[in-house]
C-alpha cells in the first residue's frame, strides 16, 4: 500500500474516531438514565412522605384512644354519682343526669373519630406499601439501564481503543511532510482533505472528475487535486 493510501486510511480512522467520541456524549441512554433517575428520586420522596403521614396517624390514634379512655372514666364517675343514692337534691340529680348524657354523647363522637382515624391508618398503610413497591421497581429499572448503558459505552470505547492503535501504526508509515500537509488541510475540509474516485466523481464534493486527471492519477508519485474542491485525490 502506498504512503498516500495509508494516509487515506488514517483519515478514515480519524473521522470514525471523531464520530464515535461525539456519539458517546450524545448517547440516548444518558438522557433516559437522567429521566429515570429523577423519577426514582420522586418515588423515594413519595414513599418517605407516606411513611411520615402513617407515623403521624399512629400518634393521632394514640391521642384519641387516651382521650376516649378519659371520657369513659368521667362518664363512669358521673353514672356512679347519679346512682349512689347519697341524698342529692332533685336539682343536683338533674344536673348529674345532664352531665352524664353529655359525656355519653362525647364518648360516641370520640369513638366515631377513632374509627375513622383507624380507617385512615389502613389506607395510609396501603399507600406506603404501594409507594415502596413503585420505588423499588423504578430502582431496579434504573440499575438495569445503568448496566445496559455501561455495556454500550464499553463497546464504543473498545472500538475507539482499536482505532487508536491502528492510527498509531499507520502514522509510523507516513512521512512527516505528508502528515503535516494533511493536518494543515483538515480544518478546511471538515476532516477529510483526501478523496477517492467513486464512479468518476470526487468522494469529497461529488463532482465529476476530468478524464485527464483520472489518467494522471494512475501515474506513480503524481499529485492530483480535485479541480472543484481542491482535495487531494488518492488512487
Ligand atoms: Zn472534489
The per-residue pLDDT for range 63-75, each reduced to its tens digit, is 999 999 999 999 9
Q: Are 15 and 21 in contact (CB under 8 A)?
A: no
pTM for this structure? 0.67
Q: In whole angstroms, how far apart are CA 8 and each of 134, 144, 171, 188?
A: 55, 41, 11, 16
- Residue 213 CA to ligand 1 center (angstroms) comes to 12
CA 32/CA 172 separation, integer angstroms: 42
- Residue 61 CA to ligand 1 center (angstroms) comes to 84
Q: What percent of the chain has pLDDT over 90?
A: 81
- Residue 230 CA to ligand 1 center (angstroms) comes to 6
- Residue 190 CA to ligand 1 center (angstroms) comes to 13
Q: Which cell is 69 given? A: 379512655
- Residue 10 CA to ligand 1 center (angstroms) comes to 19
- Residue 56 CA to ligand 1 center (angstroms) comes to 76
- Residue 224 CA to ligand 1 center (angstroms) comes to 11
- Residue 19 CA to ligand 1 center (angstroms) comes to 22
| Environment class of 40 (CB within 10 Å of its CB; exposed 0-12, middle 13-18, buried 19+) | buried
- Residue 231 CA to ligand 1 center (angstroms) comes to 6
Q: Which cell is 128 given? A: 406506603
- Cα end-to-end span (Å), the chain: 11
**Stretch among 85-89, 112-116, 162-166 having the lowest mean pLDDT:** 85-89
Give residue limits of the domains in the chain. Answer: 3-174, 190-235
- Residue 229 CA to ligand 1 center (angstroms) comes to 4
- Residue 208 CA to ligand 1 center (angstroms) comes to 8
Closest among 67, 105, 97 to 79, alpha carbons compared? 97
- Residue 200 CA to ligand 1 center (angstroms) comes to 11
- Residue 211 CA to ligand 1 center (angstroms) comes to 14
Closest among 190, 212, 3 to 225, alpha carbons compared? 212
Residues in the chain: 235
According to CATH, the topology of domain 3-174 is Helix Hairpins (1.10.287)
Number of C-beta neighbours around residue 48 at 10 A: 13
pLDDT tens by residue, 192-201: 999 999 999 9
pLDDT tens by residue, 29-58: 889 999 999 999 999 999 999 999 999 999
Q: Over 90: is that where the pLDDT of 25 sits?
A: no
- Residue 225 CA to ligand 1 center (angstroms) comes to 8
Amino acid at each position: 500500500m502506498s504512503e498516500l493510501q495509508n494516509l487515506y486510511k488514517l483519515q478514515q480512522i480519524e473521522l470514525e474516531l471523531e464520530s464515535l467520541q461525539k456519539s458517546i456524549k450524545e448517547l440516548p441512554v444518558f438522557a433516559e438514565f437522567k429521566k429515570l433517575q429523577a423519577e426514582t428520586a420522586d418515588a423515594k420522596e413519595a414513599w418517605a412522605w407516606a411513611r411520615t403521614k402513617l407515623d403521624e396517624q399512629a400518634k393521632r390514634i394514640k391521642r384519641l384512644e387516651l382521650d376516649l379512655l378519659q371520657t369513659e372514666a368521667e362518664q363512669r364517675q358521673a353514672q356512679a354519682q347519679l346512682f349512689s343514692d347519697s341524698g342529692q337534691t332533685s336539682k343536683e340529680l338533674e344536673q348529674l343526669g345532664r352531665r352524664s348524657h353529655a359525656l355519653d354523647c362525647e364518648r360516641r363522637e370520640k369513638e366515631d373519630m377513632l374509627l375513622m382515624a383507624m380507617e385512615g391508618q389502613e389506607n395510609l398503610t396501603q399507600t406506603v406499601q404501594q409507594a415502596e413497591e413503585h420505588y423499588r421497581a423504578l430502582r431496579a429499572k434504573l440499575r438495569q439501564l445503568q448496566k445496559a448503558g455501561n455495556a454500550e459505552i464499553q463497546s464504543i470505547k473498545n472500538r475507539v481503543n482499536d482505532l487508536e492503535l491502528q492510527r498509531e501504526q499507520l502514522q509510523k508509515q507516513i512521512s512527516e511532510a505528508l502528515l503535516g500537509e494533511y493536518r494543515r488541510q483538515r480544518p478546511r475540509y471538515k476532516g477529510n482533505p483526501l478523496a477517492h474516485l467513486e464512479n468518476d466523481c470526487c468522494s469529497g464534493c461529488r463532482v465529476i472528475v476530468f478524464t485527464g486527471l483520472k489518467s494522471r492519477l494512475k501515474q506513480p508519485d503524481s499529485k492530483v487535486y480535485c479541480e472543484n474542491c481542491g482535495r487531494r485525490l488518492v488512487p
